[in-house]
Amino acid sequence: MHATTQAILPYDQHLHRFPAYLQQLEMESNGKSITRDGEAVDYNTGTVVWGEPGINGQHAFYQLFHQGTETLAIDFLAPCQSYHPIANGHHHRLLLANSFAQTEAMMCGKIENEVRTELKSQVANDTKQEKLLPHKIIPGNRVTTTLLFKQLDPKTLGSLFALYEHKVFVQSVIWNINPFDQWGIELGKTFAGKILSELEQDGAVSSHDSSTNGLMNYFKANQDSR
């Protein structure tokens, strides 16, 4: 569906590291460009995954969701019950209200007639109204998925792991790639061994490309020798 990345947005602080887990799961598994048959793929694989807890994200990157030019897959995760019902649950209702409001706003947006009516009641100057108009139009039709569950107990957490892990496996089958190897990472580790031995030796390095030589030599000249 032409989505360039997958955003994971948990509205529960207990899941604040869940997006990082899914980064490893998805990008390490399906970041492949060769099929099981050894042929180069001619389609996109390995979605870029990222995210933050919801309220943090709202003040960081949700603007791009609403009015940016990128198409993204966006997952909202939220529990109905909180382990910390502050103010008789008001705090959690406030949290969930923001979650539901963001997905509704991404779906509905705000069309020109709505913006024009709003501006007429807020801004007296007609010229200023017309100047503000295009900036306040929200296109909407942003696709989101909400996973709403009763409580984040061990069974639910395990179900979330299983859901995303199964999704990654199914994607690998559709793309005909092997999700169970990581030769790219292994190459980096191989290079690291040689670089480490050279960093621990005296003298300038010249055995790599000019960029890597420059980085290594700058580090050797400026490292803390204590």
Give me the catalytic one of 2, 84, 189, 200. Answer: 189
Partners of 78 in beta bridges: 148
Q: What is the pLDDT of residues 182-201, one digit of tens each?
A: 899 899 999 999 999 999 99
Give me the catalytic one of 59, 84, 135, 150. Answer: 59
Is 59 noted as a catalytic residue in this protein? yes
Is 131 noted as a catalytic residue in this protein? no
User: What's the pLDDT at 64?
Assistant: 95
Domains of the chain by residue range:
5-181, 185-222
Is 189 noted as a catalytic residue in this protein? yes
Scan for tokens 């990157």, then name that residue: 61
Q: What is the pLDDT of residues 68-87, one digit of tens each?
A: 999 999 999 999 999 999 99
Q: Name which CATH class applies to 185-222.
A: mainly alpha
User: What's the pLDDT at 3?
Assistant: 87
DSSP characters for the chain?
A: ----EEEEEESSGGGTTHHHHHHHHHHHHH---B-TTSPBPSS--S-EEE---HHHHHTTTHHHHHH-S--EEEEEEEESS-SS-TTTTHHHHHHHHHHHHHHHHHHH-B-HHHHHHHHHHH---HHHHHHHHHHH-B-----EEEEEES---HHHHHHHHHHHHHHHHHHHHHHT--TT--HHHHHHHHHHHHHHHHHTSSS---SS-HHHHHHHHHHHHHS---
Q: Specify the CATH number of the domain 5-181.
A: 3.40.50.10490
Give me the catalytic one of 14, 16, 28, 167. Answer: 28
Residue 21 in tokens: 């887990």
Domains 5-181 and 185-222 share a fold: no
Whole-structure pTM value = 0.89
User: What's the pLDDT at 211?
Assistant: 98
User: What's the pLDDT at 225?
Assistant: 65
Task: Report residues of the chain scoring pLDDT below 70.
Answer: 225-226
